Chains A and B, each alone.
Chain A
Amino acid sequence: MIIHSIFFYIFSIIAVFSAIMVTVSRNTVHSVFFLILDFITISCLFIMIGAEFIGMIMLIVYVGAVAVLFLFVVMMLNVSQQKNTWLSGEKNSNHIPIGLLISTIIFFELIIVAGGWKYKPELLKSFSSIGVDIDSTNTHEIGKVLYTDYIHLFQLSGMILLVAMIGAIVLTFRKREGIRRQSYFKQISRERKDGVELVDVEKNKGVNIDV
C-alpha cells in the first residue's frame, strides 16, 4: 500500500507541476514538451488504478497524435524565431536540456508503470479502486457497456464528429477559380473533328505576308 501511495504522489506531483509549466513557460516548444509529460503522467495514473485501456488510449491518442501534432505546428509556425537555432545553431539551443529532462522522467515513469504492470501485477491490481472484474480486461468491460447501455451516447458522439467535419469543411473550403481539372469523360468523348481541322491549302500561291 505504501509503495502504491508513494508512486501515486510522485505521479501526481509531476502531473500538477507539468500542467503548471505548460501555462507558465514562455517558450511554446517547452509548453508542448510539458504537455506531453502531463499526458504521459496522467496515463500512468490511469494504469495504476487498473484502467489500463484508458491509460493506453491516452498514450496513443493524446501523446502519439495530438501532442506530436502540436509540436509539429509549433515548430512549423516558428513562433519565436527559433528555427535557426534549432539543434545546429551557433547559440546553444535551450530545448535540449529541457527535452532531455522530460524524456528521462518519462522513461522512468514508463519503467515504473510498465515494469510493475508486467512483473508485479498483483501490486497494482490489488489496490485497484475501480470495482471491475479482475478476470476480464478493461477493454472487454468497456465494450460490453459501450454498445449496449451507452449506445445512444456512442451514436451521438458520432453525430458530433460529423458536425465537426461539416463545420471544418464549410469554414475552410474555397472553390478556386481557374483551375484546370482533368475530366475523363471529356477526354474520352473527344472526337476527331474537335481536335483536327483539315484545311485546303491552295497550291502555287505562296503566302501573303504583307497583309
Chain B
Amino acid sequence: MINLNFIYSELFLALSIMTLLIVGVFKKNSSILIYNLSIISLLICLALIFNFPINENVELFKNSYKIDYLSSFTKILLISSGVFVLFLSNKYVQIIDINKIEYPILVLSSILGMMVMVSSNDLILFYIGLELQSLSLYVLASFNRDNLLSSESGLKYFVLSALSSGLLLYGCSLIYGFSGSTNFFIIANNLTESSYGLTFGIVFILVGLAFKISAVPFHMWAPDVYQGSPTSVTAFFAILPKIAALTIFIRVLYVPFFNLINDWQMIIIFLSIASMLFGSIAAIGQSNLKRLIAYSSIGHMGYALAGLSTGTNQGIQSSITYITIYLFMNLAFFASILMLRRDDKYFENIEDLSGLSKHHPVLSFSFLIVLFSLAGIPPLAGFFAKFYIFTAVLEESMYFLAIVGLLSTVIAAYYYLRLIKIIYFDSEKEKYETNHNIGLKMSLLISTIFILFYFIYPSWLTEIIQNIIII
C-alpha cells in the first residue's frame, strides 16, 4: 500500500483544479471568485507540504516518485512564487481583459506539472510532468488571443518547445536502450562506464532541458515569448519553470548520470559560459523592459548552471540559493513593471521609466534596489547569490569559469546601471497612477525587503539549503 500522505499536496492541487473548473463552468461570471479560490487552494497546498516533516526521504510508486528535502524545498518555492505571481497580477488580468476562469486554472495545472517534475525519479514521470507544465504554458503565453504578439509568442513557444520535447524523448529512449531502465536509481546502478549511445542520450536530454531554462544556444524563443505574452504570464515564465527545470537538472545529472560526470561537465560549463556572456551582451541594445529581463534571465541561468557544473553538493546548494534569490528579484522587478500604469494602459518600454524618481520616489527606490541586486552589487541579496556560486566554483578550482562569470557580471552591470540612470537623471514624464491593489503592493514590499535586508542574517537561507544533499 502506497503511503499517500506524502503526495497530499499534489492530490489536493489536482482535485482543486477539477473542482474550480466545474465551479467556473456552472457559475456565471465567476472569474474573480475562481482567481481568489485558486490562490487559497495554493495556500492550502503549501500548508499540506509543511504538515509533514519535510526532511523525510521516501520513494513512492516503485521508486519513481521521490519526496526528499530538495523536492519539498522546491515545491515550497514553486507554490509560494505561484501565489505571489497570482497576487501581483490580480488587477492586470482584469484590466487587459484576460481574466477568464481558465487563467488561474491553467496556472494551477502548470504548477502541478512542475511539482511532479521536481520529485520525479523516473524518466517517464519526468517527461509527463514536463509536458503538463509546458502544455499549460503554451496556452498561457497566447492567452491574450486578440493581441497579435501574444498569439505569435504562444505559437513560437509551442513549435520550438515541441521540438525540444522531441529531442528530449529521443535522448530518454537512448538512455533506456543503453541502461535497460527508466528509473534513475537503476540507471545509476547499471551505468558504470560511458559509451557513445549514453553520451548521445545525455546530450539530447540536456538539449531539451537547456531549452526549458533558455540557456544559450537554446535561448532564441525567450525574448520573443517574454515580450509577447501578457506581463503576468511573463512573470510566471521568468520564475516558475526555471525553478522546476533547474531542479530536474540536478536530479537528472546527479542521480543517474553522476558516474559519467566527465561526459556532461564540459557541456554544462559551455552552456553556462555561453549564457552568461550572451545574456549580458545581448541585453545592452534592448528597449523593451520585458525583452531586457528575458536576456537578463538567460544570463542568470548561466550563473545557476555554473554552480551545477561543479559536481559537488556545495555547487548544488549554491545553485538552489541562487534560484531562490533570483525568484525574489524577479518578483520585485515584475511588480515594479506592473506599477507603470496610466489610464488603464501598461507601459513596458525603457523610455517610459525616464525621470520616474520625480513623481514616484518609492517605486524608483525599489527599482533601484532590484536593479542593483540583479547587477550583484553588495550588500544586496543578488551579491550573495553570485558570491555562493563563485565560492563553489573556485573550491573546485575552475578558474576560467569564475573569471568569465565575473567579467560578464561587469558587462551586465552596464545595462542595469543604465536603467538606474534613466530613472534618476533623465527628464521626467507624466505621472503614473498610484492606486494599486494590495496584492501588488505587498508582493513588491515583501520581495524588496527580502533583497534589502538579506545581508543582516544571510545564514538562515543557507542553513535551510544546506540540508539538500544529493550525492
Q: Is A171 close to B, CB under 8 A? A: yes
Let me know if B145 is at the binding interface, CB within 8 A: yes
Closest to B154 in A: A171
- The answer on a CB contact under 8 Å between B136 and A167 is yes
From A48-56, A154-162, A190-198, give the one contacting chain B. Answer: A154-162
Most buried by B among A150, A151, A157, A169: A150
Set A156, A164, A170: member contacting B116, Cβ < 8 A:
A156
Q: Which partner residue on chain B sits nearest A171 by CB separation?
A: B145
A164–B105 Cα gap in the complex (Å)?
Answer: 12
Q: Which residues of A contact B18 (CB under 8 A)?
A: 162
For chain B, give the interface size range. 20 to 34
Complex contacts, B105 vs chain A, CB 8 Å: 166
Q: List 27 A-B contacts (CB under 8 A).
A: A149-B61, A149-B62, A150-B124, A152-B60, A152-B61, A152-B65, A152-B125, A155-B14, A156-B132, A159-B109, A159-B112, A160-B128, A160-B131, A162-B17, A162-B18, A162-B109, A163-B106, A163-B132, A163-B135, A166-B102, A166-B105, A167-B106, A170-B100, A170-B139, A170-B143, A171-B139, A171-B145
Known: A159-B14, A159-B109. A167 touches B135 (CB 8 A): yes
Q: Is the CB of B128 within 8 A of A156?
A: yes
Q: Which residues of B contact A169 (CB under 8 A)?
A: 102
**Complex interface bits, B100-114 against A, C-beta within 8 A gives 1, otherwise 0:** 101001100100110
Q: Apart from A152-B60, A162-B17, A163-B135, what 16 extra A-B contacts exist at CB < 8 Å?
A: A149-B61, A152-B64, A156-B116, A156-B128, A156-B129, A156-B132, A160-B128, A164-B135, A166-B106, A167-B106, A167-B136, A167-B138, A170-B100, A170-B102, A170-B139, A171-B142
Interface status of B21 (Cβ within 8 A of chain A): yes
A101 adjacent to chain B (CB < 8 Å):
no
Query: Binding site of A, secondary structure by majority: helix, strand, loop or mixed?
Result: helix
Cβ of B56 to closest chain A Cβ, rounded Å: 18
**CA separation between A162 and B17, bound complex, in Å?**
10
User: With contacts defined as CB atoms under 8 Å apart, how many contacts are there between chain A and chain B in the complex?
Assistant: 63
- A206 CB to closest chain B CB (Å) equals 53
Q: Is A153 an interface residue (CB 8 A)?
A: yes
Among A155, A160, A167, A169, the most chain B Cβ lie within 10 Å of the Cβ of A167
Tell me the smallest distance from the CB of A92 to a CB of chain B, in Å: 37
In the complex, the answer to whether A160 meets B132 with C-beta atoms within 8 Å is: yes
Residues of A within 8 A of B62 (CB): 149
CB distance from A122 to the nearest CB of B (A): 27
Expressed in whole angstroms, the minimum distance between the Cβ of A194 and any Cβ of chain B is 24
CB-based contact B124/A153 at 8 Å: yes
Sorted nearest first, the 9 A-B pairs with minimum C-beta distance are: A167-B139, A170-B102, A156-B128, A163-B109, A163-B135, A152-B61, A160-B132, A149-B62, A163-B136
How distant is A192 from chain B, measured CB to nearest CB, in Å?
A: 30
Contact with A along B36-66 (1 / 0, CB 8 A): 0000000000000000000000001110110
- Once bound together, how far apart are the Cα atoms of A164 and B131, in whole Å? 10
Closest CB-CB distance, B51 to chain A, in whole Å? 20
Size of the chain A interface, CB-CB below 8 angstroms: 18
Question: Complex: how many Å from CA A44 to CA B233?
Answer: 45
* Min CB gap A50→B, angstroms: 18
Q: How far is the CB of A211 from chain B (nearest CB, A)?
A: 47
Give 1 or 0 for each of B9-24: 1 = CB within 8 Å of chain A CB.
0000010011001000
- Which A143-187 residues sit within 8 Å CB-CB of chain B? 149-153, 155-157, 159-160, 162-164, 166-167, 169-171
The secondary-structure label for the interface of chain B is helix
Question: Of A153, A166, A171, which is within 8 A of B128 by CB?
Answer: A153
- With both beta carbons as reference points, the residue of chain A lying nearest to B64 in the complex is identified as A152
Contact B131 A166 (CB under 8 A): no
Please give, as numbers and ranges, the residues of chain B lying within 8 Å of A167 by CB-CB distance.
106, 135-136, 138-139
Chain B residues, Cβ within 8 Å of A170: 100, 102, 106, 139, 143, 145
Residues on the A chain within 8 Å of B128, using CB: 153, 156-157, 160
The residue on A at minimum CB distance from B21 is A166
B139 touches A153 (CB 8 A): no
B21 to chain A, nearest CB (A): 7
Whole-angstrom CA separation of A151 from B62 in the bound complex = 11
Q: Which of B60, B105, B139 has the most CB of A within 10 A?
A: B139
Give bound CA distance, A176 to B434, whole Å: 36
Check A160–B135 contact: CB distance below 8 A.
yes
- A167, B100: Cα distance in complex, Å: 12
Q: Give the complex CA separation of A167 and B21 in angstroms.
A: 13
Return A16 CB to nearest CB of chain B, in Å.
16
- Please measure, in the bound complex, the distance between the C-alpha atom of A150 and the C-alpha atom of B63, giving whole angstroms: 11
Q: Which residues in A have their C-beta under 8 angstroms from that of B145?
A: 170-171
Tell me the complex Cα distance, A162–B124, Å: 19
In the complex, which residues 117-159 of chain A have their Cβ closer than 8 Å to any Cβ of chain B? Answer: 149-153, 155-157, 159
| Residues of chain A lying within 8 A (CB to CB) of residue B61 | 149-152
Cα A155 to Cα B129 with chains together (Å):
11
Q: Which of A149, A151, A156, A159 has the most CB of B within 10 A?
A: A159
A166 to B113, CA, bound (A): 15
Task: Return chain B residues, CB-CB under 8 Å to A162.
Answer: 17-18, 21, 109
Return chain A residues, CB-CB under 8 Å to B124. 150, 153
Residues of A within 8 A of B102 (CB): 166, 169-170
**A150, B2: Cα distance in complex, Å:** 12
B136 to A, closest residue via Cβ: A163
Q: Which residues of A contact B125 (CB under 8 A)?
A: 152-153, 156
Q: How far is the CB of A41 from chain B (nearest CB, A)?
A: 19
Q: Which B residues are CB-close (under 8 A) to A150?
A: 61, 124
Neighbouring B residues of A166 by C-beta, 8 Å: 21, 102, 105-106, 109, 139
Contact with A along B136-150 (1 / 0, CB 8 A): 101100110100000
The distance in angstroms between the C-alpha atoms of A160 and B116, with both chains bound, is 12
Question: Residues of A contacting B139 with CB < 8 Å?
Answer: 163, 166-167, 170-171
